[in-house]
Structure 1
Amino acid sequence: MYKNYFHKIHNLLNEVEETQETSILKAADFITETFVNDGILHVFGSGHSQMFAMELFYRAGGMVPVNAILTPELALEPKDQMSTLAERQSGFAKEILLNEPVHEGDTIIIGSTSGRNAVPIEMALEAKKLGLKVIAITSLKFSSQVESRHTSGKKLYECADLVLDTCVDFGDAALSLEGIDVNFGPTSSVIGCTILQAVMAQVVENLIKSDIEPPIWVSSNTESGDNINNKYIEKYQSRITCL
C-alpha cells in the first residue's frame, strides 16, 4: 500500500506541474515585488495548514522576510478540537491581523484545503482592505463540493488575488482499501509545501535576475550559520513576529 501512496503523490505533483505553472510564476512575481520594495511575506493557516507557515519561516535555505502567523488558538495543541471551532469564528481574523506587522504592499499566503471556514476567508478579505496581495493555497476539487461557512457565502479561492491549487481530492485522504469504509492517506501538506517551496525558488531566481541578493537563512549547524543568521535577526526582528 505504501507504493500506492507514492504513486498518488507523483500523480498529484505531475498534475500541479502541468496546471499550476502560470499561478506559480505569478505568485513568485507578487512576492518578488514585495521583497524588492522591502516588504514582508506573511503566511497564515489553521490546524494542519499552519505547517505552510512553518515550512516557509526561519528555514535553512529559505528566504528571510517571511512572517509566520501562528495563532495559538488555531494550532493543534493543546486541544485539536479547539482549533476546529476557532477556525469557524467570524471576526477572529481581523483581530489576528491587528496584532501582526502587516503593511500595504506586503503579500500574504493563506492556506486552507477546503477553503470553507470563516477565519481564512475573513483573513483574505481583511488583508485586501489593508492593501496586501492575497495568495490562496487550496484545493479547488475539495472547495467546489462544500458550502462556505462565512457570512458572505464565499470560499477562500473567491476572495484571493491568486489561487495556487493543490489539486488534492475531496476530503484530502487519497487512498482506499477493501475492509475499511473511509479513505486514508492525506496529501495536502506534502503537495502544498512542495508548491510553496517551488514558488520561493522562483522568487530567488527573480531577485538574482534583478541584481538583488536574496536574504536566505543558513543552517545553524554550519560554521558560518549563526553569524549570518544573527545579522538577519537583528535587521528583521521588529518586523517578523516570531523572531
Structure 2
Amino acid sequence: MKYRYLEAVEERISKLKETETEALEQAVSYVIRTLRQDGMIHIFGSGHSHLLAEEAFYRAGGLVSVRPILIEELMMHKGALRSSELERRPGYAEQFMKDQPIKPGDTVIVASTSGRNPVPVDVANISRDKGAAVIAITSTAYAGSQPSRHPSGDYLKDAADCTLDNHSPVGDAVLTHPKLATSYSPTSTAIGAMLLHTVLSEAIDRLADEGFPLPILRSGNVDHADAHNKALIDAYKDRNELLK
C-alpha cells in the first residue's frame, strides 16, 4: 500500500536533515542560553499555527519553562474567518504583546507558514525589542512568490534571528490528484512539530551531557509523577499564568 502523505512527510524530514542544520544549530544555541539563565521559552502562532504553541506546553517529557502565547481571538474556535482577518490587521499584535512577560535572554518561537501577515511579523519584532531571541518556523517558499501584507514589506523570516524552513509549498497542501482541481493535505503542522521538538530535545541533550539540571515534566498518567510535577509548577507558576 502506498501512502502518499507519509511519503510527503518523509521527504520533508529528509530535507530538514540536508538543509536546516545551520539554522537548527543556531536555534538550539538560543534555547540553551535561555535554559542556562533560567529564562522562558515563549511560543506563538495564530490560526492552525497556534497548535505548535500548545504542542510543547505542559507536555509529558517537555520543559515546564515553555509558555505559549495563546490569543483566543486569533484561534479558530472564536471564528475561523475572524482569526484570519485579525492576523492580517497591522498593529493588532501590539494590543496583546505589550503585556507579555518576555524578558532579555528569553527565546520566542513564532510559527507562521506563510510568514506574510502583520501579526506574526510584529510579534517577532516586539519580542526582539524586549530582548528575546526569535526563532521563526515558516515556509521560505512564500517570500517572493506572495507579497507580504506587512506595511514594511517584511516576512516573518526577516524579523527573526534565525529561520527554520518547514518546506511547505505555497498553499501548504502537498498532494494533488488528476480528478481534483485543488491540492490537499498540508504538512506544516507535522513538520513544524518535528522542528520544534528537534530544537528543544537537542538543547536538553546537550545540557544533560554537562549535568545541568533541567525542569522536565513527567506524564501525569504515570504513578508518582504528581509530586515531581507540582514542585516544577510551583517554581514557574509566577512566570506562566497558564500553570494553574
The equivalent of 2:228 in structure 1 is 228
The equivalent of 2:166 in structure 1 is 166
The equivalent of 1:185 in structure 2 is 185
CA distance in 1, matches of 2:206, 2:92: 35
Q: Please, what TM-score do these two structures have when normalized by structure 1?
A: 0.97
CA distance in 2, matches of 1:66, 1:43: 7
Distance apart, 1:180 and its partner CA: 1.0
The equivalent of 1:134 in structure 2 is 134
Q: Please, what TM-score do these two structures have when normalized by structure 2?
A: 0.96
Whether the 8 Å CA contact 1:34–1:105 is kept in 2: the answer is: yes
What are the Cα deviations for residues 169-224 of structure 1, in whole angstroms up to 9, with x where unaligned? 11100000111111001000000101110111101012113321211111000112
One-letter code aligned to 1:47: G
SS in 2 for 1:137: strand
> Greater shift after overlay, 1-10 or 66-75?
1-10
SS in 1 for 2:136: strand
The equivalent of 2:204 in structure 1 is 204
Whether the 8 Å CA contact 1:45–1:110 is kept in 2: the answer is: yes
**2:32 is equivalent to residue 16 of structure 1:** no
**2:70 is equivalent to residue 74 of structure 1:** no
CA distance in 1, matches of 2:240, 2:95: 17
The equivalent of 1:32 in structure 2 is 32
Whether the 8 Å CA contact 1:29–1:203 is kept in 2: the answer is: yes
> Which 5+ residue runs of structure 2 have no aligned equivalent?
none
**2:107 is equivalent to residue 95 of structure 1:** no
> Which 5+ residue runs of structure 1 have no aligned equivalent?
none
CA distance in 2, matches of 1:53, 1:133: 16
CA distance in 2, matches of 1:91, 1:240: 25
**2:110 is equivalent to residue 117 of structure 1:** no
CA distance in 2, matches of 1:2, 1:52: 28
One-letter code aligned to 2:106: D
One-letter code aligned to 1:17: K
One-letter code aligned to 1:128: R
One-letter code aligned to 1:18: E
SS in 2 for 1:77: helix
- Number of residue pairs matched by the alignment: 243
One-letter code aligned to 2:102: V
SS in 2 for 1:191: helix
What are the Cα deviations for residues 15-54 of structure 1, in whole angstroms up to 9, with x where unaligned? 1111111211211110110110111000000000001101
What are the Cα deviations for residues 138-170 of structure 1, in whole angstroms up to 9, with x where unaligned? 001133311111111111101110000111111
CA distance in 2, matches of 1:155, 1:225: 42
After TM superposition, the runs of 4+ consecutive aligned structure 1 residues lying more than 2 A away are: none
Matches within 5 A, 1:21-60: 21-60=21-60
Distance apart, 1:2 and its partner CA: 6.5
Distance apart, 1:234 and its partner CA: 0.8
SS in 2 for 1:124: helix
| RMSD (Å), alpha carbons | 1.2
The equivalent of 2:239 in structure 1 is 239
CA distance in 2, matches of 1:2, 1:128: 45
Whether the 8 Å CA contact 1:100–1:241 is kept in 2: the answer is: no
